[in-house]
Structure 1
């Protein structure tokens, strides 16, 4: 017997037939003696439909009312799933976020969870009920409905697992686990049986779409075992856990992430004086534009080229800001490139293996792929390259680190 929190995304509950399949899976776990809390998203396509309705009323919809509207998507799913479970003879009870009493701050559209009241859920579980909770939502201290933003249902699932001290949080999606890289790019990509919180956090932040960053951060903070599984095929999936149980021969690289949504900007010939980075980045931050990689190169004439990357959707806005402050900063010019990509290798094994970066750079050089920027951490190396070479780079690196097999250590430098 175990206490499981299972989260099903929009694709997994995208039709009545798929909701019935979810109910079948929950029934099997109950028959095995497991207690189950189910967290669901809105049915696939529903959120987009609601957004379109809102924009037909207001060009820029009111954020409070938007949260009221969007929260109805999950309300439909919890009711339908609870009905399906009852039809199978299981006692089930649905809850919206506010009914559970998931208390958040008042940042509509991107609220953060502050507290979860588990009393009602525990009472239901003790009575043998299946608890079905609407993901993506909560309520602030004044009772206003709030939504948690991108990946909010994953965050709800992990947060409930942490609050209930569940044995495992299972994230059901349309893939059967975390792979060494995207199988659509590399046919021989391999599903990982296990990956650490650190590695998954890096993979998520670097472009892997399997899990959202917030949910992985939450799971790591509260040490919630997290498993990624497929809603459509049976299997063990990928367990995301602490580093303690790793194999002795941990490969240097566990996976390769990539992101097509990058854009690069450079402010050329900026005076190399204290505070110049702040003068460049504060206006960017004030515009709520997130900066990723930053590189500053100082030349012999006392000036510097200041380069950074942003999301491609924010490229034009960031360029306008730099052009507006160029004269004030005494810069020679502003240049940008929206046709770049970021490719990253990730692995906790980098801590104990030398030569990882040189192996990466050698592999790219052999394919005549030029590296524009480099960023490193303890367990990752990221490079910015021309977008047209992205898939070639991923395939080359996947081969160089032998990720189709068991993974190998990089050669010593």
Structure 2
């Protein structure tokens, strides 16, 4: 009997009526003869509400206590979903992450999964239970509650699926698959029947909100079959399959376009050798768990600049680090530009197509859109533009690369 792991996000379980609908979908899968582990998020809006409550007490709350608070959202959802299944005559049990031995490191608010003890899950499945697990949360080696960061329930689901050797991990969201771009930005976007693991990983890291990037990394490391589906449809769609091998479409080198908002660009003018500054800056940022995105530096007789982008949520921390650099005279000045968006074009076909960069740059120039920074990878090209130009850039490039028909 195959084990299926299903994950339902906050909008899927956003109200009692939605939880009842999800229960029906779970039962439909159970009746196909599968054993089921279901991972759920907090109800839509609950995490934001809890963050707001914390901010009313302390604008900069203790990371440990914030995790203790935020983890409570999932406890509500798993209990309600288990109740809905039991009411329908199905045996179900709700479990918090520490009850299944989901061990993480001790980076509060951004914890990473280290190990999952599968004994409890296997035991409950053998008893015929549908196992409902709280996503987004874990426990460190000292027994502290930790959380995995925004979108962490995706990572919980994939990690659990990998640990118990599930047949497939199904991620249910409010969209019926992965699209060539966010349909809320361009309604002409089309759904992809499949996308390669590499493309999905780049899309997730570039800001596509369908899957958390760490969940895709986990799936790739364990070759876990992954599928994105909608909890708002009647099951008539197969969603989007994440494949580990795929043919390159040479006619369409770009598969999808992502837009990441809330990007912040820091420009530092070094007083010391740029290599020394790079080492210090990125070591300091890593110690504070600040994720750096785009990086460039300019070394000449006239300039000695280091440029990098981070997410707005890490702006205060990064700004404080820059102030320390000023005090230590490691930099002569720094600038912080907010209200920026990163637009990324992604596709395996870029490996064998040399004109993508030229097409991107010429399209933006023709439409008077300034580029603040550029970064490239084997199957991705990203440009940093003003936030006001972000969605316009996506729509222009969707047309340029024929991704909307």
TM-score when scaled to structure 2?
0.90
- Residues 140 and 277 of structure 1: is their aligned pair in 2 closer, same or farther, counting only changes over 3 Å? closer
- Residues 16 and 351 of structure 1: is their aligned pair in 2 closer, same or farther, counting only changes over 3 Å? same
Q: Is the 8 A contact 1:185 1:391 kept in 2?
A: yes
- After superposition, the C-alpha distances for 1:274-309 in whole angstroms (9 at most, x for unaligned) are 52433454555555543322222233x264232222
Gaps of 5+ in 2: none
Deviation at 1:219, TM superposition (A): 0.9
What are the residue-to-residue correspondences of 1:279-318 with 2, within 5 Å? 279-285=280-286, 288-299=289-300, 301=301, 303-315=303-315, 318=318
Deviation at 1:114, TM superposition (A): 2.0
Task: Say yes or no: does 1:378 pair with 2:370.
Answer: no
Q: Distance in 2 between matches of 1:208 and 1:377?
A: 17
- After superposition, the C-alpha distances for 1:123-169 in whole angstroms (9 at most, x for unaligned) are 33234321111112222344333322322211111111101111111
SS of residue matched to 1:201: helix
- Residues 149 and 371 of structure 1: is their aligned pair in 2 closer, same or farther, counting only changes over 3 Å? closer
Q: Distance in 2 between matches of 1:17 and 1:25?
A: 13
Q: Is the 8 A contact 1:315 1:338 kept in 2?
A: no
SS of residue matched to 2:184: coil
Gaps of 5+ in 1: 406-413
Provide the residue aligned with 2:238 in structure 1.
236
Deviation at 1:209, TM superposition (A): 1.2
Q: Distance in 1 between matches of 2:70 and 2:277?
A: 42
Deviation at 1:84, TM superposition (A): 1.2
Provide the residue aligned with 2:98 in structure 1.
98
Deviation at 1:10, TM superposition (A): 1.4
SS of residue matched to 2:361: helix
Q: Distance in 2 between matches of 1:362 and 1:350?
A: 17
Deviation at 1:39, TM superposition (A): 0.8
Provide the residue aligned with 1:35 in structure 2.
35
Q: Is the 8 A contact 2:190 2:403 kept in 1?
A: yes
- Residues 325 and 108 of structure 1: is their aligned pair in 2 closer, same or farther, counting only changes over 3 Å? closer
Which structure: larger Rg? Answer: 1
Q: Distance in 2 between matches of 1:171 and 1:149?
A: 17
- Residues 265 and 123 of structure 1: is their aligned pair in 2 closer, same or farther, counting only changes over 3 Å? closer
- What's the C-alpha RMSD, in Å, of the aligned pairs? 2.6
Q: Distance in 2 between matches of 1:109 and 1:156?
A: 14
- Report the more deviating stretch, 82-91 or 100-109: 100-109
- Residues 369 and 57 of structure 1: is their aligned pair in 2 closer, same or farther, counting only changes over 3 Å? closer
Provide the residue aligned with 1:278 in structure 2.
279
Provide the residue aligned with 1:259 in structure 2.
260
SS of residue matched to 2:192: coil
The aligned length equals: 403
- Report the more deviating stretch, 173-182 or 121-130: 121-130
What are the residue-to-residue correspondences of 1:157-306 with 2, within 5 Å? 157-233=157-233, 234=235, 235-242=237-244, 244-246=245-247, 251-268=252-269, 270=271, 274-285=275-286, 288-299=289-300, 301=301, 303-306=303-306
- Residues 250 and 162 of structure 1: is their aligned pair in 2 closer, same or farther, counting only changes over 3 Å? farther
Q: Distance in 2 between matches of 1:240 and 1:264?
A: 32
Q: Distance in 2 between matches of 1:115 and 1:340?
A: 37
- Report the more deviating stretch, 277-286 or 386-395: 277-286
SS of residue matched to 1:133: strand
- Report the more deviating stretch, 56-65 or 89-98: 56-65
SS of residue matched to 1:98: helix
- Residues 71 and 267 of structure 1: is their aligned pair in 2 closer, same or farther, counting only changes over 3 Å? closer
TM-score when scaled to structure 1?
0.88
SS of residue matched to 1:185: coil
Q: Distance in 2 between matches of 1:291 and 1:317?
A: 12
- Report the more deviating stretch, 206-215 or 58-67: 58-67
